[in-house]
A and B are shown apart, each in its own frame.
Chain A
Amino acid sequence: MENEVLLLKGNEAIAHAAIRCGCDGYFGYPITPQSEVLETLALMKPWETTGMVVVQAESEVASVNMLYGGGGCGKKVMTSSSSVGIALMQEGITYMAGADVPCLIVNVQRGGPGLGTIQPGQADYIQATRGGGNGDYNVIVLAPNSVQEMADFVDLGFDLAFKYCTPVMMLADGVIGQMMEKVVLPPQKPRRTNEEIAEQCPWASLGKPKTRGVNVITSLELQPEKMELKNHKLQEKYRKIEENEVRYELTGSENPEVAIVAFGCSSRISQKVVQLAKEEGIEVALLRPITLWPFPYDAVKELSKKVKSILVVENNAGQMVHDVRYAIEGRIPVNQYGRFGGIIPTPMEILEVLKKQL
């Protein structure tokens, strides 16, 4: 398969990209608004072409623990779900973080709390960027804002997961998952052989040859001195990630008086706000964090030196705004605008809010 241009839903793009990037296994459980991922994979039958395994699990708890098993063997494994299901997966995510197991988890967010709604939301920001489960850990969080990025971040997510031996989360939302756009799919990558995995992932539990010691995938350590050391190693890994993997996009006016900070679907709506504002003579810059953890604190800080105020747009009651405020240390005013419960704000209503803070 060469490069191919298709018109796809974001969720469908994830399935196509998974097969093409040489993913070994997908384990999932149906939940709106992301069920097309599993449906597309089932329809495409990759087990007959690349040999990729696709399993519909009995629950999100089972699917995330299937990831733990597959990732522990050094296989490229992934799942996708939506907010309510991701909450259930936190057990497996903290185990994988603690056991240094790579994997990719896609959260196509819906509004909460509880069963909430099947409409889009962005209210899992804090859960995703602070680890989400028990213990001191982080997962790398990628926030796509287009169908193209839904596809691209599957491959990127696996690269990062294996580079740092850690779970990676793609924090999408119901808008990006459901909308259709043109997407360029990359050529087919071969799946790694067991021999390649054994070489590239010497820690993987593939069956113990005589040439090495026992590989045990575990997060358990009863001796506090050893457990503290393990935590220090994790934190060292996180500092490295913070140093090397911050990603963001800065667009809009080069001489802004005000800036918007937004991710995912909110950043797409904010692009229109920037355009509408320009038509009214208001210069606006748009900073879009692509990695939500590690967060682009320095970029936000630099931006804050060029503008009089910042508006954080996110479909929640105010979550990323804490990171923005932390970055600029009170230098300028920061406001937040969010609709939630599944409501998507219009560019016009955001523009009105923006004008009030000029």
Chain B
Amino acid sequence: MTKEEIIEKGTVVYQKAPLMNDNPMHYCPGCSHGVVHKLIAEVIQEMGMEEKSIGISPVGCGVFIYNYIDIDWQEAAHGRAPALATAIKRLLPDRLVFTYQGDGDCAGIGTNETIHALNRGENIVIIYINNAIYGMTGGQMAPTTLLGQKTVTCPYGREPKLNGFPLKLTEIAAQLEGTSYVSRQSVQSVAAIRKAKKALRHAFDVSMQGKGSCFIEFVSTCSSGWKMIPEKSNKWMEENMFPYYQLGDLKDE
């Protein structure tokens, strides 16, 4: 039986989001990026915003998100996506404008742009993938790397005296007057994915209602960077990341 025949019979219970194209993804097995991409594509489609969405991609593994979701994109300099989003949304207020950024991008080099865009209450959504490591450049320490966590630039484990502390950017975002909805989610299980999708939809809705900035962190895995098989990555994330980066809504006004 061909794919078309199955679809004709009306027996489809799950399908790839139509906004996702057939380009082969460059992500490693076990990576959270692909799942979050899918959720973005699904939510844009469900909102009917396919023709009115503009995404801003980061520098880092997520840079090529524009190769996978068929909407208009701009590829920002490292950390500057919220600045681009600010201008785009101000100039095109009826568009759905969101950034997609990793922890190095959003919480390291771009902290200033992130905080000020949020604090101005720009009606944008910042999607923040926190996998506690620099994935694309080969597994270096990120601002969010946990204490004791080993990376190639803290091979003996992150140590506060040498490397400072893991940054809770989402907690900072929640304190800013300009943010309307701030949440921390994950995508390692079906239940988590469903919750995450609801949060994403809510954020997109809030930004289109002009209520202020939305910030969603996805606590994520990086199997290659962590040097773990995907299954172990999920377990390590649940046991080590979740206690420090606690899931749930931090602010919903």
Contact = CB atoms under 8 A, between A and B. Distances in A.
Interface of A: 24-25, 27, 53, 55, 57-59, 61-63, 65-70, 72-73, 75, 77, 91-92, 95, 99, 194, 205-210, 214-220
Interface string B67-102: 000111111110010011111101110010000000
Contact of A73 (B66, B70, B92): B92
A326 to B, nearest CB: 32
Nearest to A47: B90
A219 B75 contact: yes
Contacts of B51: 207-210
B37 interface: no
B109 to A, nearest CB: 10
Contacts of B92: 73, 194, 206-207
Contacts of A99: 75
Contact of B73 (A63, A194, A216): A216
B87 A77 contact: yes
B80 A218 contact: no
Interface in B37-58: 50-54, 56-57
Nearest to A53: B90
B216 interface: no
A72 B113 CA distance: 18
A133 to B, nearest CB: 10
Interface in B140-173: none
Contacts of A217: 73-75
A69 B74 contact: yes
Nearest to A220: B75
Instruction: Give the top 8 A-B pairs by smallest Cβ distance, nearest first.
Output: A69-B84, A218-B75, A65-B83, A65-B80, A69-B87, A205-B72, A58-B116, A66-B87
Nearest to A72: B74
Interface residues of B, number: 31
Interface of B: 50-54, 56-57, 63, 66, 70-77, 80, 83-88, 90-92, 95, 112-113, 116
B76 A68 contact: yes
Given A70-B91, A205-B72, A216-B73, 19 more contacts: A25-B91, A53-B90, A61-B83, A62-B113, A65-B77, A66-B87, A68-B76, A68-B87, A69-B83, A73-B91, A99-B75, A206-B95, A207-B53, A208-B50, A208-B71, A214-B66, A217-B74, A218-B57, A218-B73
A188 B161 CA distance: 60
A66 B73 contact: no
A73 B74 CA distance: 9
B176 to A, nearest CB: 13
8 contacts: A62-B83, A66-B83, A68-B76, A68-B80, A72-B74, A77-B91, A205-B73, A207-B72
Nearest to A92: B77
B88 A69 contact: yes
Contacts of B85: 69
- Which of B72, B73, B90 gathers the greatest number of chain A CB atoms within 10 Å? B72
A59 B73 CA distance: 24
Contacts of A69: 56, 74, 76, 83-88
Nearest to A99: B75
B89 to A, nearest CB: 9
A66 B84 contact: yes
B155 to A, nearest CB: 28
Contacts of A66: 83-84, 86-87
A55 B85 CA distance: 13
Contacts of A207: 51-54, 71-72, 92, 95
A59 B72 CA distance: 27
Given A59-B112, A61-B80, A62-B112, A70 B87 contact: yes
Contacts of B54: 73, 205-207
Contact of A70 (B73, B76, B88): B88
A80 B116 CA distance: 20
Nearest to B95: A207
A165 to B, nearest CB: 14
Contacts of A206: 54, 72, 92, 95
Contacts of B88: 69-70, 72-73, 205
A205 B88 CA distance: 9
A208 B96 CA distance: 12
A62 B116 contact: yes
Nearest to B119: A58
B124 to A, nearest CB: 10
Nearest to B93: A53
